[in-house]
Amino acid sequence: MEHLIELKDIYKIYQMGSETVHALDGIDLTIDQGEFVAIVGSSGSGKSTAMNIIGCLDVPTSGTYHLGGVDVSTMDDDQQAEIRNKMLGFIFQQYNLIPKLSVLENVELPLLYAGVDSEERRERALRSLERVGLADKGKNLPSQLSGGQQQRVSIARALAGTPSVILADEPTGALDSRTGREVLRFLKQLNREGDTVVLITHDNSIAVKADRIVRLQDGKIIYDGDSRDPRAVVQPHGEDEEEEAGA
Amino acid sequence: MNFGQSFRLAIKSLTTSKMRALLTMLGIIIGVGAVIVILSLGNGLTGMVQQQVDKLGINVIQAQLWSVGDGMMPDPDELYDLVDENSHVLTGVSPYVNLGGVVRHGDEKFDRTNVYGVSEIMYNPATNYTMDGEQLAKGRFISYMDVERREAVCVIGAYLEEEAFGGDALGKHLSINGRTLTVVGVLKRNAELEMLPGSQDDQIYMPYSTVMEIVGDRWVGLYIFTSTSGETADAAKKVIEAWLNKFYRTDDGMYQYFYITTMAEQANQINGMMGVAMGVLVAIAAISLLVGGIGIMNIMLVSVTERTREIGIRKSLGAKRRDIRSQFVIEAGTTSAIGGILGIAFGCLLAKGLEALLGGMLSANMGGVVFRATPTLGAIGLSFGVSVGIGVLFGYLPANKAAKLNPIDALRYD
């Protein structure tokens, strides 16, 4: 059976002056349709690089990445843009809404770039806002909404384009714990409705909400399995305390 | 596809920071305003020339002849015959002779008065103007019979009437080089010009045949022809040219034996010279447009940097390079288009102001024709088009910079 996401022997190597940094050091990872996966790791573990590559925002130095059966690892800027538009929905820590556009216009953006005509755009964006319970806020500016509401708008925007994968990058990082839990519940619900969700976080307590955990350290996968397995949340050499403090 | 949104975003960012928008557009406003003023003034002057031509008659043709070699020149009668033979294009001819002489009335002497020998063709009863732009105030002009019979009659200017006859000259007499003439007509005073000796109001028209008799000369160096209409002026000119070539036994005597010019050609010449002058001025004004374009480029570069994160977000949602590029190009184009509209309004107002300021003076100098400094629709359309073009042109570089931003870096930008 074909996997939705298939990373094979992925390397991402940066040249920092005279030093060579292996942000990703030979990653093999497959994610199937309908999974809820958390990619966990401290800063510097390579999880952001992994997220950029899975999100088609970056290309690997070597290795292949198939998304929905298509090799996207060698695509140029515009081809990647099209893949992002058609297959991926992003949820960011900072919501990343455009402040000058209304809530509805923000949600319409992926459809705008997909070339959907204005009437259908409006309709689909409204449906998407309904799913997150903010249909009545369409005319508001993002700044008139609370943090939790803004994050829900960004979820609606991610859903508007009916993507194959929802990529959530620290989606609760800027929220208080109660609204954070709400957002996570919502992602869980989306997953139950059939969406594939990939969550990127440094926080074990958030990662365990996913069904499967992929733990990264120094650019390598050190654990990949069920989130209920005790080994999934083991802190190898106390990395969290040390590196987060040093970051 | 996202033109509407880009346009609205551009308007929004212009209205949210009005001072910055105004400063950005200032170069374009001044440039377009200057172009509109120049084109309006040019249009006004061209209009004046046209009015002047219409007044004097678009069918007037001047022929200057020179005596070469044996001193032979055409006899005026031969040219009358030429007109008769070519009545399909020519309607008349008048010799135009300048008589250097002293005008006397009683004991008074007028030695600066200009005396011209002409025929009845000099005066056009249809437009009520002479070929030199004068109108009759009273009496009549020189008639065909006056010329035929070498009558001792004359038409005098307003200055002469005032100075010599105290304002009532009709039927009275004056003398030129000892020959006594009867005043049969008086010309209108020339608008606002001061009445001075030697001015346009100090002149005399008399039958050219009478002048020839006084000076004892046979040759006339300057003729004024009239064609049947403005359209036939060129054909008439060719007829005269052919005849003169035959007369002087030459293939192409233009500029050497004679020089013929139609009113339309003269107007074209004046308009052509004005066109060159206006071209130079517009080119200078265009420098301001260039500076305005650079101003727009500058502010767009700032805007791209300020909105790096927005560009990253759009790219992450699937915006391609050309989507981002067109967004910023549209924004630059909108900014300069609004600048252009303001510039056009500003230019029109300024042109109207100048019209009010200069109109009276120009009108007086040109014998009462009206000066209207209004830009043509073409000039307005062109200025608008150029300002949009400048925005698009100078917006392209910043827009391209935005389009090429790396989405990861752009998303992380604070």
- From CA B2, how far away is CA B22, in angstroms rounded? 25
- Is B308 in CB contact (< 8 Å) with chain A? no
Contacts of B79 (CB under 8 A, 6+ apart): B93, B95, B223
* B264-278: average pLDDT: 89
Interface residue of B308, B309, B316, B330 to substitute, partner A, most A CBs within 10 Å: B316
User: Would you state the pLDDT for residue B193?
Assistant: 59
pLDDT value, residue B128: 82
B142 and B243 inside one domain: yes
What is the pLDDT at residue A1? 56
Task: Kindly state whether residues B167 and B312 are assigned to the same domain.
Answer: no
The H-or-E segment that residue B26 falls in is helix B18-56
Q: Residue B231 pLDDT > 70, yes or no?
A: yes
* Disruptive mutation site among A77, A90, A157 for chain B (greatest number of B CBs within 10 Å): A77
Q: Is 50 exceeded by the pLDDT of residue B2?
A: yes
Contact check, Cβ <8 Å, B320/A57:
no
For residue A55, the chain B residues in CB contact (below 8 A) are 316
**CB within 8 Å: A52 and B1:** no
**Closest residue of B to A158, CA-based?**
B317
Co-location of B322 and B398 in the same domain: yes
Do residues B11 and B107 both lie within one domain?
A: no
Evaluate whether A165 touches A70 at the Cβ level (below 8 Å): no
Cβ–Cβ gap B318/A52 under 8 Å: no
pLDDT at B335 over 80: yes
Among B12, B312, B317, select the one facing A109 at the smallest CB separation. Answer: B317
Q: Is residue B110 within 8 Å of B130, Cβ to Cβ?
A: no
CB A110 to CB B408 under 8 A? Answer: no
Out of B62-66, B189-193, B372-376, least confident range: B189-193
Handedness of CA B81, B82, B84, B90 (dihedral sign): negative
- Whether residue B16 is predicted with pLDDT greater than 90 in this model: the reply is no
Least confident segment among A32-36, B2-6, B82-86, B293-297 = B2-6
Q: Which of A71-80, B125-134, B148-157, B204-213 has the lowest mean pLDDT?
A: B125-134
Element (H, E) at B231: none
Residues B109 and B161 in one domain: yes
Q: How confident is the model at residue B264, as a pLDDT?
A: 84
pLDDT for position B154: 94
Distance CA(B209)–CA(B203), nearest Å, equals 18
| pLDDT of B366 | 65
Shortest distance between the Cα of A120 and any Cα of chain B, in A, equals 14
Residue A213's pLDDT is 93
Contact (Cβ atoms closer than 8 angstroms) between residue B351 and residue B330 = no
- Nearest by CB: A81 against B309, B310, B320: B320
| Domain hosting residue B96, numbered range | 59-267
pLDDT at residue B47 greater than cutoff 90? no
Instruction: Name the residue among B31, B37, B36, B38 with its Cα closest to residue B394.
Output: B31
pLDDT average, residue stretch B315-343: 92
Please indicate, yes or no, whether residues B320 and B253 belong to a single structural domain of this protein: no
Compare B391 and B189 and report the one with higher pLDDT. B391
Confirm or reject contact between B9 and chain A (CB < 8 A): yes
Reported ipTM: 0.90
| B193 CB within 8 Å of a chain A CB | no
Does the pLDDT of residue A202 top 80, yes or no? yes
Q: Determine the residue of chain A that is closest to B309 in CA distance.
A: A96
Rounded average pLDDT over B180-197? 80
B218 and B88 in a single domain? The answer is: yes
B277 and B170 together in one domain: no
Look at residue A244 in the predicted model and tell me its pLDDT.
Answer: 44
B17 touches chain A (CB under 8 A): no
Q: Which of the pair, A80 or B128, is modelled with greater confidence?
A: A80
The confidence score (pLDDT) of residue B289 equals 87
Q: Which of B12, B312, B407 sits opposite A100 (nearest CB)?
A: B12
Q: Do B317 and A90 touch (CB under 8 A)?
A: yes
Domain boundary, last residue among B267, B299, B332: B267
Which of B205, B240, B267 marks a domain boundary? B267
**In this complex, how many residue pairs, one in chain A and one in chain B, have their CB atoms less than 8 Å apart?**
64
The Cα–Cα gap between B135 and B188 comes to 5
Q: A81, B315: Cβ pair inside 8 Å?
A: yes
Average pLDDT of span A202-214:
90
Cβ B318–A161 below 8 Å, yes or no? yes
Residue B156 or B2, more confident: B156
Chain A interface with B: residues with Cβ < 8 Å: 52, 55, 57-58, 77-78, 81-82, 84-86, 90, 92, 96-98, 100-101, 105, 109-110, 112-115, 118, 157, 161
Q: Which of B1, B314, B411 sits opposite A109 (nearest CB)?
A: B314
Are residues B125 and B234 located together in one domain of the fold?
A: yes
CA–CA gap between residue B13 and residue B33 (Å, rounded): 24
pLDDT class of B194 with cuts at 50, 70, 90: low
> What average pLDDT score do residues A74-102 get?
91
What's the pLDDT tens digit per position in A108-155? 999 999 988 889 999 999 999 998 889 999 999 999 999 889 999 999
How high is the pLDDT of residue A235?
Answer: 61
Domain boundary among B238, B267, B296: B267
> Considering only A137-141, A231-235, B112-116, B348-352, which range has the smallest mean pLDDT?
A231-235
Shortest distance between the Cα of A226 and any Cα of chain B, in A, equals: 30
Q: What is the mean pLDDT of chain A?
A: 88
Looking at residue A247, its pLDDT comes to 38
**B282 plus B402 within the same structural domain:** yes
Q: Note whether B78 and B222 are same-domain residues.
A: yes
**Worst-scoring range by mean pLDDT, A229-238, B128-137, B173-182?**
A229-238
Phi, psi of B337 (to 5 degrees): -65, -40
> What are the pLDDT digits (tens) for A11-40?
999 888 889 989 999 999 999 999 999 999
Q: Which stretches of chain A are DSSP H helices?
A: 47-54, 77-87, 103-114, 118-131, 147-160, 177-192, 204-207, 239-246
**Nearest-neighbour CA in chain A from B384: distance (Å):** 28
Query: What CA–CA distance (Å, rounded) separates B311 from B309?
Result: 5
Q: Where are the alpha helices (DSSP H) in B307-376?
A: 308-316, 321-365
Contact (CB, 8 A) for A13 and A21 = yes
Percent with pLDDT over 70 in chain A: 94
Domain count, chain B: 2
Picking from A214-218, B27-31, B153-157, B360-364, which range would have the lowest pLDDT averaged per residue? Answer: B360-364
* Whether residue B342 is found in the same domain as residue B243: no
